[in-house]
Structure 1
């Protein structure tokens, strides 16, 4: 009998209040002032409008115009849709297209096989916190801050046929930018010089995030530094590797400034981006034909971007 009031009192205690995630979010939104809600809305809406207006709408217009023969001057109501004829002309009867594809592939191979491993090697060295590493890191990253057009002018001081440092040092008379047999290699060296600093920074950021206990465990097992890097550290850098792959592909596709400064993408320096510019804003404006070239570049870029996004989303789910 004496336990009865205690049991009733225990039953009278209400259960602890629980807040559902949705209810919690609504409560937090109610706590925000009107000014905060306006600021958050603008922070989301303004970038969305800018991306839509300057990226997605022009991309969609490019795809649509690639099926027309519009020259960019005539009225819009006179645009004639020609279907896939522009793509057929690009592949079959446009002579610069094949050299441009070859040069873009060569650009990709040079950045991926030479510049990227070298940037990773420099990142590994700087990660050791050597004396003066801050200075070297800044010096190696400095070219990334410069535009490719400015880099073209800088390397002109080295490549100039009459007053260039290279010809003066080796007592030669090579026209590095004018000779179609060597100008692509000269431009690739200048582009790789900039790309190395970018890749170095990406890998250096990734190496700083590697758990030190992994290296310590490998050292206890007697693994060398080289074996530790390739067997332990490098697999951990998988997200960085994917980013580097996507960045390298996009860099090789959108390479434009450097060759345009040299000779407007002609005489051995044909690139897809230069061909697009020549046809869209060149002397003979062919918006439809240039849009077909731009659409080809867009499709290739989207393939690698989609692979990157799918990989990131899968890792987040895991």
Structure 2
């Protein structure tokens, strides 16, 4: 006598089988406090040190505030400060041009060199860690030490560059004082610091590329150059976007080396130095400097607006 197992109850057509209950993990009070502190403290710092000053800068740019009287007593002047910046402030246009030159130079020289060094170091060269340290060292050096190093190179009377070129005495080139060459001298000094950072970003991106992609390209007969530009480089799209944004922002806020050399004068005018000289310098034209800072902020925001959707799309 055979026995048959009872048939499972039929599931009505069109209905889903019942789900097993999920175990809900509830955060303890201690975890909630820890998360609140971890998220709240950085948010407060960013709001207090970045967003509040930025908003106040924009508001001050539409007033005639002298920096001493209460801000609520300042009178609104509309777009007068912005009009004066564009039409009645001669250093603004050279500064804008210099920032654009800085941007183009940074894309063409340190970015390309950083990619090239990253590709070489990704090949597991002997002593690769030593090369990485040497190339990245300028990034972590202080501004004072960087300025001192390049002063030894660019010095008119005792500089290494003039000695190598044989320019001595009256023929010596004043690399920092001559307005026709000082911008390029500073650009090479800035590229020296920026190249190592770009190299590190691309080296990290290359380490994350799937080796199967390169193997497939090699099997198809592609050379290493074609493999990099047609396979590897497009895969590193997130790194490319980060490098573009970092380069643009660094070019717009270029300030430190130029200010140390000659406070952004005599051919080294930049928007960042104009902002600082008007707000903190001798004139202390705070609303005027705030208008310059707002213009620089708007230019940066344009690139950030393009950057964020690209990153969010990539994550999606």
Normalised to the residue count of structure 2, the TM-score between the two structures is 0.92
Q: What CA distance in whole angstroms lies between the structure 2 residues aligned with 1:276 and 1:91?
A: 14
Query: 1:138 offset after TM fit, Å?
Result: 0.6
Q: Deviations over 1:183-215 (max 9, x none)?
A: 001000000011110100000000000110111
Which position in structure 1 is the counterpart of 2:117?
Answer: 122
SS in 1 for 2:173: coil
Which position in structure 2 is the counterpart of 1:157?
Answer: 152
Label 1:232 to 1:3 Cα distance change in 2 as closer, same or farther (>3 A).
same
Label 1:34 to 1:284 Cα distance change in 2 as closer, same or farther (>3 A).
same
1:136 aligns with 2:131: yes
Q: Deviations over 1:111-136 (max 9, x none)?
A: 00111011100100000011111100
| Structure 2 unmatched ranges of 5 or more | 10-16
Which position in structure 2 is the counterpart of 1:28?
Answer: 25
Q: What CA distance in whole angstroms lies between the structure 2 residues aligned with 1:135 and 1:196?
A: 16
Q: What CA distance in whole angstroms lies between the structure 2 residues aligned with 1:16 and 1:79?
A: 65
Choose the corresponding residue for 1:87, options 49, 57, 82.
Answer: 82
Is the 8 Å Cα contact of residues 148 and 191 (structure 1) preserved in structure 2?
A: no
Query: 1:148 offset after TM fit, Å?
Result: 4.0
Number of positions where the alignment pairs a residue of Structure 1 with one of Structure 2: 305
Which position in structure 1 is the counterpart of 2:311?
Answer: 312
Which position in structure 1 is the counterpart of 2:21?
Answer: 18
SS in 2 for 1:68: coil
| Structure 1 unmatched ranges of 5 or more | none
Query: 1:181 offset after TM fit, Å?
Result: 0.8
Label 1:163 to 1:178 Cα distance change in 2 as closer, same or farther (>3 A).
same
Q: What CA distance in whole angstroms lies between the structure 2 residues aligned with 1:254 and 1:141?
A: 21
Q: Deviations over 1:280-312 (max 9, x none)?
A: 001111111101000011111111112111001
Query: 1:152 offset after TM fit, Å?
Result: 2.0
